[in-house]
Structures are given as structure tokens and as C-alpha cells.
Amino acid sequence: MKINPLMKQFITEAVLKTSFKMPSRLNLPPTALRFALEQLTRVFPQPKGVEFRALRIAGIHAEEIKPQKKSTQMILHIHGGAFFVGSLKTHRAFLAEIAVRTQMQVLHIDYPLAPEHPYPEASDAIYDIYQMLMDQGVQPKDIIISGDSCGANLALALVLKLKKEDPEHVPSGLILLSPFLDLTLTSESLRFNQKHDALLSVEALEAGINYYVPKDVDASIPEISPIFGDFAGLPPTLVQVGSKEILMDDAIRFEKKAKKAHVDVTYKLYTGMWHNFQMFSPWFDEAKKAIADIAEFAHKLDQT
């Protein structure tokens, strides 16, 4: 039986608010929320025709997802989770879908989470992984750096660091999905979309900030809040966000600042969608469109 799209969305949002958003507002231990998210993401169907291989790079666990034996491009993805949840398991089905749609290799890294590993441990680990890829002979032109939510924060922070310290190693492109870029929490959408976002709560963001940012460190520095960084010289960038997201204005602010810095930025807003809606592509047309837009962006980079 085919379910009315509006009813399907209503039911999905109700389930998300009950199963994850509400618990995330209760100051539960990170281990409990990590378990809850892994259980929630088990409902995502895993596409066929991909190979998974466990790796360890620069001491960090990672997973290689390949849709074919040879690929001309690698998508290096950094998962979200407010710096304290998320894993290889939570994003496996979503990234397998990205691999299938792009026909590119996806490298998913399991960076160290807060509060056990506060700033700068995650960003340092990701930088070390990228440098090891360079040492292994991977060319920057063959890498697209991608991230969702706080993973987009870490992705942008990595590229800003590369642009400053290793400009010859700047990747061919950058993908920011539902990005969490301002840890000072000054975006207006945190207020006006607070009731509309089915997945993410302000309380979860505040908990993540408290876990991730040491007390003696200013959360506004670009290494932590990359929205305040220098965008000049960034590679072509795709930004996606849903109209119901509490982080919508982080994406809007990024686009405006990137355009002023003459960055080739593609900004996409998806009507009626909540935080990290791209992971729900098996069931929602807007999420399917977002995956198609990611593939189009990646293929365009591959042809340049």
C-alpha cells in the first residue's frame, strides 16, 4: 500500500522526535545516545553492489566503500553527530548510497569523539589521515572532502588548514551537508526552526560544544567555528541544507561569505527537510534529489 507523502513525512518526523531528538535533550550519557543512534540507523536499507573493507589509517579506524574495482575520484567523508555521537555503522548505508550514485570510492573515517577526545584531537587525527593519503601517492585533484553536520565543520576546518599550511594539498572539492559551522550558536535559525527540525535539538548542540571545546579555548576561533575563517582560495563547494533545520543559517552564512570570497559555491535548499535528511533518500524525494545533486557535483569535478 502506497502511503501519502505528507503522511509519510509526518510519521517519520514524529518517530525521529520521539526516538532521538527528545532523548538528546535530556542530558543522557554520550554512550546511551551513541547506542540509540546506531539502533535508529539500522532501519536504513543498504544498497547492493558495493564492497566494504576495514582499514586503519594513521592509527584511526576507517572503512573503504567501493562500487567498482577502479575509481578516478575518492570521497573522504567525515560523519556528523555533534562531535560526540556517530560511527562507521550509523553512516554506512548512506555512504554506500553515495558510492553507488557517484561510482566513486568513499573513505569513511571513525575519528575520535568527545568528551573522551576533546579539541583538537579529532581535527588532528583527520589532518594526519589526509597527510598519510598524500604520502601514499593519492593526488589532491582526486579527492573530494565531504562531511555532514559537525563532520562538515571538521571538513571545512581541514581545508582551511590545508589552504594555509599545505596549499598544494587542497582537494578538488568540498561537500558540506547540513553543516554545523558556528559553535558560538549565533545563527537565527537555531531559534525559529527549533520546533520544526525533527532530528536535531539545540540542547544536543550545546552538549556537543561542552564536550568538544575545552573550557580555556575560545569557541569562535576558525579552527573550531570555521564560519569565521578566511574563505579565499577554497575549492568548489557544494552546500546542502533543509528548510526546517536549526542549522539552516549556518549554511546560508557560508554561501554568502564564500561568494564574497569568489568561491565557486553551489547552495541547495530542500523544502520541508530536517537535519541530515540526505540519509533518508530511500523514502523521500527531496533526499533522493540531494543524493543526485551530490553525484552531479562530484562528476563535474571529475571532468575538470
Q: Which listed residue (24, 123, 149, 225) is catalytic?
A: 149
Query: Which of the following is catalytic: 13, 63, 97, 245?
Result: 245
C-alpha cell recorded at residue 57? 589509517
Contact 210, 240 (CB under 8 A): no
Query: Across the strands, what pairs with 146?
Result: 77, 175
β-strand 265-270 against 74-78: which pairing, if any?
A: unpaired
Strand partners, 74: 105, 143
Q: Is 225 one of the catalytic residues?
A: no
CA 244 – CA 271 distance, rounded (Å): 8
Q: Which of 162, 184, 180, 181 is nearest to 172 (CA)?
A: 162
245 is catalytic: yes
Which residues form the catalytic set? 149, 245
